[in-house]
Structure 1
Amino acid sequence: MLKNKPVYNYDIEECNQLFKKGVYPIGCGIGDKDGRVFHVFTANRRYFDMVKLINFEMNEKRQSNM
């Protein structure tokens, strides 16, 4: 039985930021219905913490540009 489930991320910019922060995918692919590229990550605490950090940094950047 799998302890960590897969997470499919279609946001390429967010994926690039995850790569820079040391979170690497376990796979990638192209969606059958829409043809968009996605990366597959392991759904663990590190992944979700980094996604929260990236979203926080993006919001801070947007607010500083206003």
Structure 2
Amino acid sequence: MASDDELPEIPVVCPECDTRTSVAFDEVERAVERHNEQLHDGEAVAEVDPEVLEALTDRLGKDLGLF
């Protein structure tokens, strides 16, 4: 079981490359940017899995009392 200070890995998908990978939470932004720069001329193709992003957004909103 992960300790409280360990952050989860976040799934990143690229529909154009037909790939899915998990990236350390603190590396997600750089990994997505690097993938898009190297493989898609900077176009925002790869992204955090939209379903996971929605779930994280909902949870954060609830934790902050916004919902």
Q: TM range, normalised to the smaller chain?
A: 0.3 to 0.5
What TM-score do the two structures reach when normalised by structure 2? 0.33
What TM-score do the two structures reach when normalised by structure 1? 0.33
Q: Which has the higher contact order (CA 8 A, sep 6+)?
A: 1
